[in-house]
Amino acid sequence: MSDILERLEKLIAERAGGSAETSYVAKQLAKGPLKLAEKLGEEAVETVIAAVAQDSEALVGEAADLIFHLLLVLNGRGILLQQVYAELERREGRSGLDEKAGRLT
pLDDT per residue as tens digits for the range 18-71? 999 999 999 999 999 999 999 999 999 999 999 999 999 999 999 999 999 999
pTM of the model: 0.88
Q: Output the domain CATH number for residue 38.
A: 1.10.287.1080
Kindly state whether residue 86 falls inside one of the protein's structural domains: no
What's the Cα-to-Cα distance from 23 to each of 1, 4, 11, 39, rounded to whole Å? 28, 20, 11, 16
Q: Please count the structural domains in the chain.
A: 1
Query: Which sign does the torsion angle of CA 18, 44, 37, 99 carry?
Result: negative
pLDDT per residue as tens digits for the range 54-66? 999 999 999 999 9
Cβ contact 85:94 at 8 Å = no
Beta strands in 18-68 (DSSP E): none
Range of the domain at 18: 4-79
